[in-house]
Amino acid sequence: MAVAAVGEAFLSAFIEVVLDRLASPEVVVLIRGKKVDVNLVQRLKNTLYAVEAVFNDAEQKQFKNPAINRWIDDLKGVVYVADDLLDNISTKAATQKNKQVSTANYLSRFFNFEERDMLCKLENIVAKLESILKFKDILGLQHIAIEHHSSWRTSSTSLDDPSNIFGRDADKKAILKLLLDDDDCCKTCVIPIVGMGGVGKTILAQSVYNHDSIKQKFDVQAWACASDHFDEFNVTKAILESVTGNACSINSNELLHRDLKEKLTGKKFLIVLDDVWTEDYDSWNSLLRPLQYGAKGNKILVTTRIEKVASMVQTFQG
């Protein structure tokens, strides 16, 4: 299967990356060596935790409020700068380490030359983040606890609400183009939409799934929500039920695969797999087996929070 990837801004992911970098050995060495004020680092951590919590709410509201969308853009810039700065420290330390120079010794020499510039940048990052965070009250953003697993989430359906989409016309157009274009090289194309929870992946998928041009293009459409507790049998069953419009009482994986294969053989289909978390190649491979018998031009749209999942689907050819 050929794969076309649709990427989104992974701001939540970058926040977590920056927090991880702050706990890295290189930064710990900096703090112990008093090259960086421990209070400054703690302020950065505290601000990032607060921003992460507020951002969880902002993700849900950005599509209906342009001001929140701009606030997120401002946040992106600062978080990316923080990531670049910390990555630069780690990379240079690792490079010297490969040359059998200790991290501590290298960092000591590195910051003799560059510590003033680095400290200035770090102070600016903290100040900007704290300033951005102050606007949360004006925008009506609330601190919401971050849930790192989706088990709390109600399973999605294919039904869309047009009022939920704001400022995503370009993304919608790009996805529609990928779905409507015919690929002469393969029968089935997998299109991952990647991004952290709440950035609107499911809303986009629902919107294109219900588009008139999609309904005219495909003989069969099916929607299945996978979630973090991935069960290949249940997902396959959900696909079959979506295809037929009827509840399925089959309890055998063999019979389930055969029935789904029969329903899809010779048909041009679009299948949406929403909220896929599994990185298990064997489970993914098994799920795809009955999906290889459709007509040419099939599309599978996968929404996921995990870049490794998008990479995994690229390994399957069909």
Q: What angle do CA 176, 280, 175 make, to 5 degrees?
A: 5
pLDDT of residue 146: 46
CA 69 to each of CA 161, 167, 199, 255: distance values in angstroms, whole numbers, following the listed order: 20, 9, 11, 48
pLDDT of residue 83: 78
H or E stretch at 272: strand 269-276
274 strand-pairing partners: 225
pLDDT of residue 212: 94
Q: Closest by alpha carbon to 40, among 130, 173, 153, 168?
A: 130
CA 84 to each of CA 95, 128, 160, 218, 289: distance values in angstroms, whole numbers, following the listed order: 16, 16, 38, 44, 42
Using CB atoms within 10 A of its CB, is residue 225 exposed (0-12), middle (13-18) or buried (19+)?
A: buried
pLDDT of residue 167: 59
pLDDT of residue 189: 87
pLDDT of residue 159: 85
pLDDT of residue 165: 60
Residues of the chain where predicted confidence (pLDDT) is lower than 70: 1-14, 16-17, 21, 23-38, 56, 89-116, 143-154, 161-167, 183-185, 195-199, 228, 314-318
Q: Tell me the Cα Rg of the chain.
A: 23
H or E stretch at 149: none
pLDDT of residue 89: 64
d(CA 218, CA 269): 5
